[in-house]
Amino acid sequence: MSREYYDDYRHGASRKRRKSLPGSVFNGVMLILSVATGAAMIVTLLAPFVHPGRTWIFPVLGLVAPAVYVITLLVTLYWIIRWRWRIALPLVVLLLAGLFKVPLFLKPELRRHYGEETSFGRGAITLLTFNVRSFYNDRGQWSFDGVTEVIRRVNPDIVCLQEFNRTSSKAEELDSLLSDYDRTVVMEGNRRDPVFPLALYTKYRILGKSHSILGPMKQDGQSVWVDLLVGDDTIRIFNNHLHSTAITVHDDKYLSEHQFLTDTAGGAKIKNIFRRFRDNSMLRAAQADTIARAIAATPGCKIVCGDFNDTPMSYTYRVMAQDLDDAFRASGKGYSYTFRGFMDVLRIDYVLYSEDLECLDYQVLYDVDLSDHYPVVVRLRPVKR
């Protein structure tokens, strides 16, 4: 009798499961979502290795890599809870492959230090890199005084500025305010020249400098190197500002506020944004290839910093960071972002360094709202061999 009861119960439960139409539909939707997220995860992992000229999908998914990883993780957890390992296992493999990329975005802070003064000792080099947006913040307000105050407060040994305002008399005033620093400004050009210059202020002796590595380009993107005498060492600093994404404030608002969902022309606008992003990703990739050759040809100590206008899961970053260490990966804490916009999730400003140096500290100054970027401060020290 108990056997018959068990069989009836089992068959009845099976019939109930088959009759659950909403559950079947939901599982079907989740299965489609699983295939889509799995494919997106594969493309995201390949993005750094594929030139953006191939297709727009690689740079776009590289841009939103953290979101792709989180969505894949949530979908995987759903199938694990449902005990559907045939679906979950391939996603787990992709998550494990992506796990090695997580430190590019997130460094968990396992131990907090409260009220402790950090001493970096003698020989430490403090470097500040900052895209100052021609000394205007993202609200169009003049920010020169604030920028000089930040430099004074941090008191760095090396200051690398991108989008330096060469036409303003305030640039000369900055020289006098930073009288302890030697200065070099490159790509001075004329007032009609659309290329933004790069500036470097340093307390160290300048031994030499290059003209623009990228040549006399009439577009947004420059790179130079400067040789500095630091103690007995010569350190080459590469200051970079790669081509812009051309994603405007309006584009940012259009995407972050999901205006495309109610816009009848949303499809065309999204396509236009993706096309511009792809085209500019191609320009950055070409610039990165040129700069990477100059970096590889440089022996000895070198620091590569500036505004790359690309995320860590990009072709640009992989090429630029080849054989170099990332200061955030070495000493960063938490989730790092350096761009004020796009929901505050993008790390596009970097400090990379050669094995002749070690990173002691990495900070993004989130209390500074003087540009559409945050300043990045890194402390390095030559390695004694």
Cα maximum dimension of the chain: 98
- What element of type H or E holds 293? helix 266-296
pLDDT at 308 over 70: yes
CATH class held by domain 127-382: alpha beta
> What stretches of the chain adopt beta strand conformation (E)?
106-107, 125-131, 158-162, 182-186, 198-202, 205-209, 222-230, 233-241, 302-307, 325-326, 334-335, 349-353, 357-364, 376-382
**Which amino acid, residue 41?**
M
State what percent of residues in the chain have pLDDT above 70: 80
Closest Cα to residue 207, out of 186, 225, 228, 224?
A: 228
pLDDT tens-digit map of 345-371? 999 999 999 999 999 999 999 999 999
Question: How far, in Å, are 158, 307, 329 from residue 182 at the CA level?
Answer: 10, 22, 30
Using the predicted structure, report yes or no on whether residue 326 has a pLDDT greater than 60.
yes
Q: Give the span between the Cα atoms of 237 and 227, in whole angstroms.
A: 6
How far is residue 46's CA from residue 42's CA, in Å, rounded to a whole number? 6
Q: Give the dihedral of Cα atoms 39, 44, 47, 48; nearest 10 deg.
A: -140
Q: How many CA atoms lie within 13 A of 295 on its CB side?
A: 24
**Residue 64 to residue 43: CA distance in whole angstroms:** 11
Asked if the model's pLDDT at residue 77 lies above 60, the reply is yes
Q: pLDDT (tens digit, 9 = 90+) per residue, 252-300?
A: 666 665 555 566 666 677 777 777 877 888 899 999 999 999 999 999 9
The domain spans of the chain are 22-100, 127-382
Q: How far apart are the first and last CA of the chain?
A: 83
